[in-house]
Amino acid sequence: LRDNRIELVRASWHELSISVSDVSLSDEGQYTCSLFTMPVKTSKAFLTVLGVPEKPQITGFTSPVMEGERMQLTCKTSGSKPAADIRWFKNDKEVKDVKYLKEEDAVRKTFTVSSTLDFLADRSDDGAVVSCRVDHESLNSTPQIAMQVLEIHYTPLVKIISSTSWPEEGQSIILTCESKGKPVPEPVLWTKDGGELPDPERMVVNGRVLSISFLNKTDNGTYRCEAKNPIGRNSTEYVLIVHDVFNTLLPTTVIPSLTTATVTTNVALTASTTTSATATSIRDPNALAGQTGPDHALIGGIVAVVVFVTLCSIILLGRYLARHKGTYLTNEAKGAEDAPDADTAIINAEGSQVNAEEKKEYFI
């Protein structure tokens, strides 16, 4: 071996060592060590040299790309031995559907490897990072990577956002037109029912925002927001319906089916009344929020108790008067029917005042 890159490291009767610097593919082959004895003894070894792949390059990208166009990106590397492996990634997510091509250089016994990524450009790919990674055993687990940032142009995407979901008369409403596109869309155009805004004093446009103050029924209609850029234009609509304030029903209180009201009344003959009432307060469903009114259930219960006590008192008094109604005769009046005069009647009366003992009457 006669080469300046080959250096003798150790030489003795038992060992002979050499080193090869700046190894190239031409150094690959069979090496023989001979010991000149009688007979001569030899030992052979085959040296394999790995071909390190060159840094990959991505071709086929033209900026910018219009949405819907087909893109074909090719990643290529050469000089690898054995053939290197190429993998594609989009935003760190591997893409599997690719084409792989391997070509061998017969002279150098190395390989040129290429891979093609084919897809339709979409607005979601705008700003995405596409990377081509080359893996090879000579790289010691440190792959070589080439990257390309995608730039996709697309028509505006338009959306209207309302400040309220229930517009009423007298209120104000703000409609915001969100438009996203590349290049950035021009200022949006607001129209109503296919024409210009009818009341510029109440309908004020500030950039992408439409403000309408003091709403009324004449504001009902379809409002359109249109945005455009050099790629194209797009629009969306919002139907405005102004509601009457008086027809607006606030959420009512749902009364459970098991809700009960109990009124207990105890009446004594002394006309004293003890009343205990337990009632569930029920809100009037037609009452507006924030207004407080009388508890109709409680008032009704009190009126019922008063009527009931009055009726009981009248019935008891009537029964009492009925039992004590009649004609009361004194002892002096007994026997007066057949007497010719008053003196005779007094003498003939039973239990006259002379012989009868004194009696008393009590009115209960």
Q: pLDDT tens digit string along 184-223?
A: 998 899 999 999 999 999 999 999 999 999 999 999 999 9
229 has which bridge partners? 232
More confident residue, 1 or 235: 235
CB 223 within 8 A of CB 210: yes
d(CA 76, CA 142): 18
Q: Assess whether the previous peptide bond of 156 is cis (omega < 30° from 0).
A: no
Res 360: pLDDT:
60
d(CA 309, CA 299): 16
Domains defined for the chain, CATH in brackets: 6-47 (no CATH), 57-150 (2.60.40.10), 155-240 (2.60.40.10)
List the helix and strand counts (H, then E) for the chain: 2, 22
CB 140 within 8 A of CB 118: no
- Residues near 31 by Cβ (< 8 Å), separated by ≥ 6? 44, 45, 46, 47
Of the given ranges (71-85, 159-173, 345-359), which has the lowest mean pLDDT? 345-359
pTM: 0.57
Q: pLDDT tens digit string along 70-104?
A: 999 999 999 999 999 999 999 989 999 899 999 99
The pLDDT confidence band at residue 363, using thresholds 50, 70 and 90, is: low
Mean pLDDT computed over 292-320? 84
Amino acid at 263: V
d(CA 192, CA 199): 10
Map residue 270 onto helix, strand or coil: coil
